[in-house]
């Protein structure tokens, strides 16, 4: 039996959902009507100007010598004037309809706000209960095979369980190439305030100091934050990797990292470097270790030399490169390696964000193109790290949990074709394992 208070809350929530749907419909109606009004206004202006030009050539008859007008001339003028008035009336009617629709939208938005405000205490209680349930029910693992099925993501607190027994939030903030100093500091602070609990950076971004400062000032306990950074290509090798890690820990002002990645296989020595990460993990300085931009041959090399597989492989992943990367996705999936996607939003390139495959889904859900692409990635089973340094977009990206794409929409996005002209393509780098003897001895 549902308590009366709970029943009232459910009814209000349903009403809120219905209002949301109606608001979206009215907004679309308003947009269509406003567009029609603009179109009619343009037609009216063109019609008026063209009629003026038509009679200008015979102005001696039309103005100065109107007595010479034939009946046909007068009838023509009357017809043109009637069309003027018709176009003008249609434009005014469309504009009025747009104003009415806008008033309806504003009224419904206000009504929806009142309902949500009334339900806030019970919603907070419901959120607390769900948070506890999330601990038991929200541990999700990579999908079984491509094409990937929809993930059962309940809320932003859901996490991916990694092969090493640790877990990571399904959404994090990436500070890829964000300027060190205030830009990075503000982005991290805003993200933590908004509810993000994962931050992804790298030594090559040169902003680890700013990330560490923001985390320290945020007031969020260190244990609640999943912190990732990456080993740059210049520091491959056993001793160099250990030294680079100590430098990153110092800059970030932390005693350990939740995830440390080899940034790419470009400069080789991948097994030798991987052995250093394994050693530092045993010392407790790294909870999880992984790689970035590794292709199948690089992952197979680690396996061939008897090393544990990475917990994570962070690669460029979005609809336009999905088809070509199915093999590496399958390999990661079969070997329990969590795929972490970067570049999910086409690196912000408007010519790709405005493709019909994206905009059609945007219109259907009343969402942003970024939210649609991030939701695609989540439903594909990828962990995501959208990068932004603007507060409203950081908060907006976290609303990816408010929408759910249909299978048809997923398939349409997955079939997109095109090239973003990536600045690099490390997945095809030659395989160089380096000296494996030291690590083998310590295993």
- Rounded to whole angstroms, the Cα distance separating 219 from 192 reads 9
Q: Report which secondary-structure segment, H or E, holds 49.
A: helix 4-56
Catalytic residues: 205
pLDDT in tens, the chain (443 residues): 333 333 344 444 445 556 666 766 777 777 777 777 777 776 666 666 655 544 444 444 444 444 445 666 666 667 767 777 777 777 777 777 777 777 777 777 666 666 655 555 554 454 444 444 443 444 444 433 334 434 444 455 788 999 999 999 999 999 988 899 999 999 999 999 999 999 999 999 999 999 999 999 999 999 999 999 999 999 999 999 999 999 999 999 999 999 999 999 999 999 999 999 999 999 999 999 999 999 999 999 999 999 999 999 999 999 988 999 999 999 999 999 999 999 888 888 888 888 999 999 999 999 999 999 999 999 999 999 999 999 999 999 998 988 889 989 999 999 888 877 665 678 888 999 999 988 776 66
**Rounded (10°) CA dihedral 433, 439, 440, 443:** -130
Q: Which of 300, 229, 244, 227 is nearest to 270 (CA)?
A: 300
Q: Which of the 8 DSSP states describes residue 171?
A: B
The token pair at 166 is 């640790």
Which residues are bridge partners to 292 per DSSP?
314
Domain with 17 in it: what CATH number? Answer: 1.10.287
Check: CB of residue 302 under 8 Å from CB of residue 309. yes
* 322 shares its domain with 382: yes
* 231 shares its domain with 350: yes
Check: CB of residue 386 under 8 Å from CB of residue 397. yes
- Which of 88, 104, 136 marks a domain boundary? 136
* 30 shares its domain with 88: yes
* 169 shares its domain with 39: no
The interaxial angle of helices 296-304 and 270-282, nearest 10 deg, is: 60
Check: CB of residue 288 under 8 Å from CB of residue 338. no
Pairing of strands 338-342, 383-384: parallel
* 104 shares its domain with 174: no
CA distances from 138 to 171, 258, 274, 313, 384 (A): 13, 19, 31, 22, 16
- Which of 119, 136, 153 marks a domain boundary? 136
- Rounded to whole angstroms, the Cα distance separating 11 from 398 reads 26
Around Cβ 43, how many Cβ atoms within 10 Å? Answer: 14
* 42 shares its domain with 153: no
* 106 shares its domain with 210: no
* 348 shares its domain with 308: yes
* 120 shares its domain with 259: no
What is the extent of the structural domain holding 120? 4-136
- Which of 105, 136, 167 marks a domain boundary? 136
Q: Which of 165, 219, 164, 157 is nearest to 188 (CA)?
A: 219
* 290 shares its domain with 365: yes
**Rounded (10°) CA dihedral 20, 191, 404, 123:** -50
Whether the link from the prior residue into 147 is cis, omega within 30° of 0, is yes
What's the domain count of the chain? 2
Check: CB of residue 311 under 8 Å from CB of residue 288. yes
How far, in whole angstroms, is CA 157 from its chain's centroid? 16
Task: Report the b/e string of 214-231 with b at 16+ CB within 10 A.
Answer: bbeebebeeeebbbbbbb
* 129 shares its domain with 156: no
Kindly report whether the global pTM for this prediction surpasses the value 0.85: no
For the chain, helix (H) and strand (E) counts, in that order, are 15, 11
The DSSP string of 87-150 is HHHHHHHHHHHHHHHHHHHHHHHHHHHHHHHHHHHHHHHHHHHHHHHHHHH-EE---SSSSPPP
Q: Which residues contact 364 (CB under 8 A, 6 or more apart)?
A: 409
* 131 shares its domain with 144: no
pLDDT for position 319? 92
Domain with 333 in it: what CATH number? Answer: 3.20.20.100
């Amino acid at each position: 039996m549902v308590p009366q208070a709970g029943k009232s809350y459910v009814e209000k929530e349903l009403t809120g959902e219905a209002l949301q749907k109606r608001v979206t419909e009215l907004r679309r109606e308003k947009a269509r009507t406003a567009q029609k009004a603009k179109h009619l206004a343009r037609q009216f202006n063109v019609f008026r100007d063209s009629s003026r030009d038509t009679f200008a050539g015979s102005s001696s008859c039309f103005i100065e010598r109107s007595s010479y007008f034939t009946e046909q001339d007068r009838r023509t003028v009357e017809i043109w004037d009637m069309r003027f008035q018709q176009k003008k009336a249609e434009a005014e009617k469309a504009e009025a309809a747009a104003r009415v629709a806008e008033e309806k939208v504003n009224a419904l938005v206000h009504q929806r706000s009142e309902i949500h405000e009334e339900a806030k205490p019970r919603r907070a209680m419901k959120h607390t209960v769900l948070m506890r349930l999330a601990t038991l029910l929200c541990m999700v693992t990579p999908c079984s095979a491509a094409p990937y099925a929809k993930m059962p993501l309940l809320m932003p607190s859901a996490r991916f369980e990694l092969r090493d027994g640790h877990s990571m939030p399904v959404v994090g903030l990436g500070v890829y190439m964000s300027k060190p100093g205030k830009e990075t500091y503000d982005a991290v602070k805003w993200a933590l305030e908004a509810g993000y609990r994962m931050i992804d950076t790298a030594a090559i971004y040169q902003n680890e100091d700013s990330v560490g400062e923001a985390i320290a000032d945020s007031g969020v306990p260190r244990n609640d934050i999943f912190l990732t950074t990456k080993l740059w290509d210049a520091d491959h090798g056993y001793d160099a990797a250990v030294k680079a890690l100590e430098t990153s820990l110092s800059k970030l002002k932390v005693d350990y990292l939740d995830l440390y990645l080899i940034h790419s296989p470009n400069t080789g020595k991948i097994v030798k470097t991987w052995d250093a990460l394994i050693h530092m993990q045993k010392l407790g300085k790294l909870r999880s270790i992984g790689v970035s931009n590794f292709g199948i041959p690089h992952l197979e090399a680690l396996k061939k030399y008897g090393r544990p597989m990475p917990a994570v492989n962070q690669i460029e992943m979005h609809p336009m490169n999905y088809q070509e990367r199915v093999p590496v996705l399958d390999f990661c999936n079969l070997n329990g390696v969590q795929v972490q996607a970067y570049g999910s939003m086409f690196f912000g390139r408007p010519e790709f964000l405005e493709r019909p495959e994206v905009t059609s889904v945007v219109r259907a859900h009343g969402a942003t193109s970024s939210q649609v692409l991030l939701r695609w990635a989540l439903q594909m089973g990828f962990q995501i790290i959208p990068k932004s340094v603007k507060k409203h977009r950081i908060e907006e990206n976290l609303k990816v949990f408010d929408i759910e794409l249909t299978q048809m929409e997923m398939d349409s996005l997955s079939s997109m074709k095109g090239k973003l002209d990536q600045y690099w393509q490390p997945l095809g780098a030659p395989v160089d394992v380096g000296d494996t003897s030291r690590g083998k001895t310590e295993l």
